[in-house]
Copies of this chain bind each other. A is one copy, B any other.
Amino acid sequence: MKSLQLTMLTDFYELTMAYGYYKSCRKDEMVCFDLFFRDNPDNGGYSIFAGLESIIQHIENFRFVDEDIEYLRNRDMFSDDFLEYLRNLRFTGDVESFLEGSVMFPYEPIITVKAPIIEAQLLETYLLQVVNHQSLIATKASRIKQSAKHRLVLEMGARRAHGASSSVLGARAASIGGIDATSNVLADQLYGVKALGTMAHSWVQLFDTEYEAFKTYAEIYPTNCTLLVDTYDTLKSGIPNAIKVIKELLVPKGVNHYSIRIDSGDLTYLTKKARKMLDDAGLENCHIVVSNALDEYLIKDLLNQGAPIDIFGVGERLITAKSDPVFGAVYKLAAISKNGTIQPTIKISENVDKITTPHYKNVYRIVDENGKFEADLITLHDEVIDTSKPLTIFDPKHPWKSKTFDTYELVPMLQPIFRNGKLVYDQPELDEIITYAKDQKEKLWDEVKRFEYPHKYYVDLSKPLYDLKQKMIQSAIKKG
């Protein structure tokens, strides 16, 4: 998975267009594409960017190999010279991107690609797939972790994931979103997401008695002992057997980390009963792990009801982002070279939200004196902002709404990743990304992180960019 060459994972129209650009002698025209999204999942106030590592890998491996060329030749649509051109095609452009773990907001460019048209076009499908999938899961994970507060959250959705990469890269994205560990062994082996696990119901069933099943497990794994107590009867059999085994085998050895797991039933009722039974038996430090179709809403409810849960296992609703499984990032043409210079382009739509923001751009985050994120500002790519002066920003849809900052810092959000096709970015370890993501979320106001009607974070246009957009809309309308 890590080294997979996925150049052919593309929509066929990228290839028909590529051949069209080639045939109409436009293949070397430079263009700029923006990758951005329009809505935070689950009506949330923010999203978490993930996927840059996969994108870097994809661009570095980008090439059509012999069997790809043969497949395309057999389609009987493309000329031999074009196929030879494809065989030698490598990415030679510039990519700028948000860093993984960044909080991000609708309508700002998360990635910009400046490259000859065919190269930029052929990246579209894969870049969107990566960002849409991994940011979706990172964002969902962040919401779930937020609902669990200081408690551990484990990702255990492999069996309900939409295929191998959904599970493995999903587990990685979930860890960027704040999940503490995964059940997925391959995600650990390939990406270093800590993998954990203990037992399933089949373990308990295989032994003649539940007691024997627990005892055998505790003997083999005295320091990694989570006993699954709901195979037969949680309160009458599972918990009493767990208490017996812990007291007989673990306590005498001085082990003081152990847990029970409940995977069915009314989790508030059962965990309250379980906590009391464990405490009465002197096992105050026995952790209670729960799982069973959990997400941020259920976790919030369980905790509001006072369920004494220490660890949440989250499966299908995280790995598929069940409540809102589509992250809608798009990839839109923003500028085209004409006579050697980059010229802005715009896509008009009757739906105002679908009008694109023209030109090659940059994004800055406005950070206040306490380090809190106040707003993001989209500018022209080469625009220079004098931070010694107060900064006034405008709401792009409602320009009479403006806000002025006197003391602030401007953090550039788009970092150079590729320059002329060469990787210029030093990739961090997953741990660093996780720390960065945590820091990003701490710098967001709680109001933006609220699940219900979150405060809308400002993403504004600089004055020159705003004026350019208005001018181009006016001129397009006149032309129409």
Q: Does the CB pair A349–B264 fall under 8 Å?
A: yes
The verdict on A160 contacting B129 (CB below 8 Å), with A9-B167, A185-B11, A322-B325 known, is yes
Instruction: Kindly specify which of A12-20, A298-306, A379-387, A444-452 makes contact with the partner chain.
Output: A12-20
Q: Does the CB pair A11–B156 fall under 8 Å?
A: yes
Task: Mark out the residues of chain A between 290 and 322 whose CB falls within 8 Å of any chain B CB in the assembled complex.
Answer: 316-317, 320-322
Q: Is A8 an interface residue (CB 8 A)?
A: yes
Q: Does the CB pair A189–B68 fall under 8 Å?
A: yes
Q: Does the CB pair A31–B206 fall under 8 Å?
A: yes
Q: Does the CB pair B206–A29 fall under 8 Å?
A: yes
Q: Is A352 an interface residue (CB 8 A)?
A: no
Task: Mark out the residues of chain A between 235 and 284 whose CB falls within 8 Å of any chain B CB in the assembled complex.
Answer: 236-237, 264-265
Q: Does the CB pair B16–A221 fall under 8 Å?
A: yes
Q: Is A145 an interface residue (CB 8 A)?
A: no
| CA gap between A136 and B159 in the complex, in Å | 13
Q: Is A415 an interface residue (CB 8 A)?
A: no
Instruction: Kindly specify which of A99-107, A197-205, A360-368, A454-462 makes contact with the partner chain.
Output: A197-205
Return the CB mask of A38-74 against B: 1 if under 8 Å, else 0.
Answer: 0000000000000000000000000000011001000
A319 to B: closest C-beta gap in Å: 8
| CA gap between A343 and B228 in the complex, in Å | 23
Q: Is A328 an interface residue (CB 8 A)?
A: yes
Q: Does the CB pair A325–B320 fall under 8 Å?
A: yes
The verdict on A133 contacting B166 (CB below 8 Å), with A6-B186, A68-B189 known, is yes
Q: Is A233 an interface residue (CB 8 A)?
A: yes
Q: Does the CB pair B158–A11 fall under 8 Å?
A: yes
Q: Does the CB pair A164–B197 fall under 8 Å?
A: no
Q: Does the CB pair A15–B165 fall under 8 Å?
A: no
Copies in the complex: 2
Q: Does the CB pair A163–B166 fall under 8 Å?
A: yes
Q: Which residues of B sit under 8 angstroms from A231, Cβ to Cβ?
A: 347
Q: Does the CB pair B347–A205 fall under 8 Å?
A: yes
A135 to B: closest C-beta gap in Å: 11
Q: Which residues of B sit under 8 angstroms from A12, Cβ to Cβ?
A: 183-185, 188, 195-197
Q: Is A377 an interface residue (CB 8 A)?
A: no
The verdict on A206 contacting B16 (CB below 8 Å), with A11-B158, A164-B9 known, is no
Q: Which residues of B sit under 8 angstroms from A188, Cβ to Cβ?
A: 12, 71
Q: Is A359 an interface residue (CB 8 A)?
A: no
Q: Does the CB pair B201–A354 fall under 8 Å?
A: no
Instruction: Kindly specify which of A86-94, A120-128, A422-430 makes contact with the partner chain.
Output: A120-128
Task: Mark out the residues of chain A between 2 and 34 whose CB falls within 8 Å of any chain B CB in the assembled complex.
Answer: 4, 6, 8-17, 19-21, 23-24, 26, 29, 31, 33
From B20, B136, B163, B198, give the contact of A133 (CB < 8 A).
Answer: B163
From B124, B161, B185, B198, give the contact of A10 (CB < 8 A).
Answer: B185
A233 to B: closest C-beta gap in Å: 6
From B9, B133, B224, give the contact of A162 (CB < 8 A).
Answer: B133
| CA gap between A265 and B125 in the complex, in Å | 23
| CA gap between A8 and B216 in the complex, in Å | 25
From B125, B183, B186, give the contact of A13 (CB < 8 A).
Answer: B183
Q: Does the CB pair A11–B197 fall under 8 Å?
A: yes
Of chain B, the residue at the smallest CB distance from A12 is: B197
Q: Does the CB pair A168–B132 fall under 8 Å?
A: no
Q: Which residues of B sit under 8 angstroms from A13, Cβ to Cβ?
A: 183, 197-200
Most buried by B among A12, A20, A24: A12
Q: Is A326 an interface residue (CB 8 A)?
A: yes
Q: Does the CB pair B17–A203 fall under 8 Å?
A: yes
Of chain B, the residue at the smallest CB distance from A317 is: B326
| CA gap between A11 and B183 in the complex, in Å | 5
| CA gap between A4 and B169 in the complex, in Å | 15
Q: Does the CB pair B202–A128 fall under 8 Å?
A: no
Closest 5 CB pairs of A and B: A12-B197, A163-B165, A13-B197, A128-B159, A162-B166
- 14 A/B residue pairs, CB under 8 Å, sorted by A: A6-B186, A9-B158, A10-B185, A10-B186, A16-B199, A19-B220, A20-B203, A20-B217, A23-B220, A71-B188, A71-B189, A162-B170, A201-B347, A202-B332
